Amino acid sequence: MIRGSDAQHRQPRQSGLRPVARLLAVCLAVAWGHAVAAQPLAEPVWQPDRLVLQVAEPAGGWLLTVSGPEGFYARREFVDRQPQLPLLSEDGTAAADGSYTWELRALSGDGPAQSGHFRVRDGAIVVSPAPETEPAAAGGPLPLVPTVFADDVIVQGEMCVGSACASDENMPIETLRLKADNTWIRFEDNSLPTFPDTDWQLRVNDASGVDGIERFTIEELTAMTKPLTILAGAPDHSLWVDGSGRVGLGTATPAVRLHVMGSATIEGDFAVISSRAVKQDFRPVDEAEILQRLAELQLGEWSLKADPDSRHLGPVAEDFHQAFGLGRDPRHLSPADVAGVALAAVRGLQRLTDEGSAELARRLADSETEIARLRHDRDELALRVSELERRLAEVAAERQDAPAATDPRAGSPTKSWR
């Protein structure tokens, strides 16, 4: 109930031009929504063995993703052809029965996306016409007459609402039961424009048709969006929020703010806070030691048991924790720790490279000095050799020019040596 001055301000409008303006705005919003909906990206064509999406206009390629029961997920890219998804896989496995959801968007990632649903039964897409309403038989029950209560209504007991409620409806536990073909709850806010007035709806299952699915959906009627949908068959603890605000996806015992059991895909940027303002207990690291530990860390290829078809490369958490002592526990790896170790190792390698370059430069300088000394010695030796050759040439010339002397004993001329 609304009491006090707030109740006076939130009374519905009774007269004047504002109700007319509000009605026109609602009509325009609905008309705009239908105009947008009238131009979908593709028109689904339901065939028993496949889903075919006839695109309205080319977009340079299309991305079709489909999710379904038993962990089914398919991602297909289409260029210059109509997007489609056969229910029979390449190895001959038929699609599991249940509800499926498809989403189509341009390969470029620009523009809006279109999504829809279909059901599979006995390995084929269910194509069912909308149910027909049978006319009331003659002599049947009289049509129900609406009853208007101009005051508060208090029910001290259980209540069953809907055309399928029996006169002796048994309600042992629940206080309110909705029982009909379509059990939807609509919230229409008739507040003044200065107050929040978004309209909402709780939708339980679709009415009928090939694209009808078993679901529970929260719809924003004003914007014509469906921000939250839970499909029938979702396992226990698909979404769990504990008393501390920790969120579990696939677990009822989340250990951190967001605890995901299984793999996660992020089609966009992933950023974690790393500001100095949120950190404490800073300590320097020995980059050379980290480099040595990293060199001793065992790396290998492996697959997750939950996803055996995907291959990965890296260490196991136990070895990483033992080598560096980082992280929350030995079973988990933090991307920040892995990146930090890699950065420290790179810096360690850079330091070794710088030291090696400095040593190499020193040795090169010493070698150049030694080479210069050897060149000087060589030049000096060459001068000495040249001088020696010159003197030898002079001696040889003097011998050749000296007169010959006669030896009286032999009667032959001899050279006179000075």
Q: How confident is the model at residue 272 (pLDDT cuts 50, 70, 90)?
A: confident
Residue 128 tokens read as 């069912």
Average pLDDT rounded to a whole number, residues 31-37: 40
Q: How confident is the model at residue 404 (pLDDT cuts 50, 70, 90)?
A: low
Among 224, 248, 221, residue whose Cα is nearest residue 235: 248
Residue ranges per structural domain of the chain? 23-125, 236-271, 278-402
CA dist list (Å): 414 to 206, 394, 401:
139, 21, 14
The pLDDT of residue 209: 61
E-strand spans in 205-328? 215-220, 225-231, 240-241, 247-249, 258-260, 300-304, 307-314
Say if residue 132's pLDDT is above 80: no
CA dist list (Å): 31 to 19, 26, 220, 227:
18, 8, 16, 21
Higher pLDDT pick, 166 / 94: 166
Average pLDDT rounded to a whole number, residues 338-346: 94
pLDDT digits (tens, 9 = 90+) for 283-329: 999 999 999 999 999 999 999 887 888 899 999 999 999 999 998 88
The pLDDT of residue 228: 94
Which range of 75-84, 95-104, 111-120, 272-281 scores highest in mean pLDDT? It is 272-281
Among 290, 299, 282, 276, residue whose Cα is nearest residue 350: 290
**SS3 of residue 327 by DSSP:** coil
Which strand (E) or helix (H) includes residue 45?
strand 42-47
The pLDDT of residue 202: 96
Say if residue 140's pLDDT is above 70: no
- In whole angstroms, what is the distance from residue 247 CA to residue 253 CA? 9
The pLDDT of residue 107: 80
pLDDT digits (tens, 9 = 90+) for 98-120: 878 888 888 877 677 788 888 88
Scanning the structure block, which residue is given the tokens 């390995």? 123
The pLDDT of residue 24: 43
pLDDT digits (tens, 9 = 90+) for 207-262: 766 667 888 999 999 999 999 999 888 888 899 998 889 999 988 888 888 999 88
Average pLDDT rounded to a whole number, residues 368-372: 94
Among 54, 76, 55, residue whose Cα is nearest residue 65: 76
Tally of CB atoms within 10 A around 377: 10
The pLDDT of residue 58: 63
Average pLDDT rounded to a whole number, residues 338-350: 93
CATH for the 23-125 domain, from 2.130.10.10, 1.10.287.610, 2.60.40.10, 3.40.1440.10: 2.60.40.10
Q: How confident is the model at residue 97 (pLDDT cuts 50, 70, 90)?
A: confident
The pLDDT of residue 266: 86
- Give, in words, the CATH class of 278-402: mainly alpha
Please state, rounded to an integer, the average pLDDT across all residues of the chain: 81
